[in-house]
Structure 1
Amino acid sequence: MQPIISLRFVKERSPMSHEISRRTFVQSSVASLAAASVVGSLAYAAEPKDTWIELFDGKSLAGWHKNPTKIGHGTGGIWAVEEGTITGEQDPPGSGNGGILLTDRKFSNFELLIDLKPDWGICSGLFLRANDKGQCLQMMVDYHDAGNVGQIYGEGTGGFNTRAFDIDGEYDAEKKHIGYKTSKHKTAEEVGLVYSCTPEAWVKTWKIADWNTARVIVEGKYPKITTYLNDVKICEFDGEKSTAARYDKEKVLEQLTAEGSIAVQVHGGGNWPIGAKCRWKNIKVRELS
């Protein structure tokens, strides 16, 4: 907005008074323009740390990229926007060729909200502080028999696994997936977590064939990661103190550094059902100090 400058005409009494009046007008104008410049610059200042940033516009993959070179899961997978959601599948479907889709922007300490709707039988993941090589701290989205959704895995960073229980499908007479049972129950301490929900709590909160909301908080040099599904706390991992097998905090820090992309995954290999997809929407993040 242009500054509004009020002009006050002064009756000329002498050359000296005229010069003073002119000088006063110029000084006042410069001050007004400077003030307007400051106001204008504030409009383009970086968003405050507690501001939510939308990572997906619901229409395009602007701000995202596939892994630029081949990684362990493949050359990238197929990523598309369908009905306002990001969808991922193998390329071509059922080929075993997967990959990851990463945010261009990198984050260190943050809170993330994301809705997910995986087809039963897929193996996906939510990558935290990820790099283009596919290395990350992963919230598992292993949505299949002997799988887990919500606990932490070291993708390309030692392969440590904090899975406190497995989920397995229950099926009706027509082999339709209708529910879950759980197995291989362990305590949080046994798998290197500070906290793990009970298997019963997970089964109760997860919605079959529907959207589920994940909330993830990542903080610290050796990150503390807390995950929630539909407002139920799933796990708490402390990267400073975790005793998870194969976890090496210094090696993980060296591989990932203290910031990275947020990414979603299509797992490579032959177990991904032909035609199955992972789906993501309502993706937003706020940076934490």
Structure 2
Amino acid sequence: MAAPFKIKALRNEAGEVIGMQADTPEDSQEPLQPEQLARLSYAADVQDFLKAWKWGEWNEMKIRVVGAMPVITTWVNGVKIAELNTATMQAPDYDPNAILGLLGTRGHIALEVHDNDPIFKDSRWGHGGQCRWRNIRIKEL
């Protein structure tokens, strides 16, 4: 529902994924929509993200969630990437009070990865793409 930018695979001449690059509207399979960016109270530039990301290495993600209808702030390797105020976000069929009633104020944590679905096939992550987590820490504010 919200995104600061879109990225895509950077491939070598053999078609192997060797990194990431900024997605462009001209050749995007899923271009960034203006409303996705507008829902954020802060959005980093895609080039700042690409400089911070360590391709082929472990990356440090920090997520701060504050409030019953939270403001969610994310960092990658110390670089602030995005901030979303869920109380004021506007989106079709989104009702922050209904979400609060459904989920409550405590205890829900989810880690999400978008797969290579039938529409995108290997074009989203590339063959052999992986997502792994380690050293997960939770600190109550």
**Paired residues, number:** 128
Give the secondary-structure state (helix, strand or coil) at the position aligned to 2:109. strand
Structure 2: how far apart are the matches of 1:259 and 1:174? 48
Q: Cα deviations across residues 210-242 of structure 1 (Å, max 9, x unaligned)?
A: 111000000111111000000000111112222
Q: Cα deviations across residues 66-90 of structure 1 (Å, max 9, x unaligned)?
A: xxxxxxxxxxxxxxxxxxxxxxxxx
Q: Which residue of 2 aligns with 1:222?
A: 69
Distance 1:234 1:266, change over 3 A: closer
Shift of 1:244: 3.8
Shift of 1:253: 0.8
Shift of 1:276: 4.7
Q: Which runs of 5+ in 1 are unaligned?
A: 1-160
Q: TM-score, normalised by structure 1?
A: 0.39
Structure 2: how far apart are the matches of 1:201 and 1:250? 34
Give the secondary-structure state (helix, strand or coil) at the position aligned to 2:139. strand
Q: Which residue of 1 aligns with 2:28?
A: none
- Taking only aligned residues, the RMSD between alpha carbons, in angstroms, comes to 2.6
Structure 2: how far apart are the matches of 1:224 and 1:247? 16
Shift of 1:206: 1.0
Which has the higher Rg, Structure 1 or Structure 2?
1
Larger relative strand fraction: 1
Shift of 1:283: 0.8
Q: Which residue of 1 aligns with 2:22?
A: 181
Contact 1:182 1:199 in 2 (8 A): no
- Tell me the amino acid that sits aligned with residue 3 of structure 2: R
Q: Which residue of 1 aligns with 2:27?
A: none
Matched, 1:287 2:140: yes
Alignment of 1:144-223 (within 5 A): 161-179=1-19, 180-183=21-24, 184=31, 190-223=37-70
Give the secondary-structure state (helix, strand or coil) at the position aligned to 2:137. strand
Structure 2: how far apart are the matches of 1:205 and 1:246? 34
Contact 2:4 2:82 in 1 (8 A): no
- Tell me the amino acid that sits aligned with residue 192 of structure 1: R
Matched, 1:252 2:80: no
- Tell me the amino acid that sits aligned with residue 261 of structure 1: H
Structure 2: how far apart are the matches of 1:177 and 1:276? 9
Q: TM-score, normalised by structure 2?
A: 0.75
Q: Which has the higher contact order (CA 8 A, sep 6+)?
A: 1
Q: Cα deviations across residues 228-269 of structure 1 (Å, max 9, x unaligned)?
A: 000000111112222244432112112211112323346575
Matched, 1:264 2:102: no
Distance 1:190 1:232, change over 3 A: closer
Shift of 1:209: 1.4
Give the secondary-structure state (helix, strand or coil) at the position aligned to 1:251. helix
Contact 2:5 2:37 in 1 (8 A): no
Structure 1: how far apart are the matches of 2:8 and 2:110? 25
Q: Which residue of 2 aligns with 1:238?
A: 85
Distance 1:186 1:264, change over 3 A: closer
Q: Which runs of 5+ in 2 are unaligned?
A: 25-30
Structure 2: how far apart are the matches of 1:260 and 1:242? 22
Give the secondary-structure state (helix, strand or coil) at the position aligned to 1:285. coil
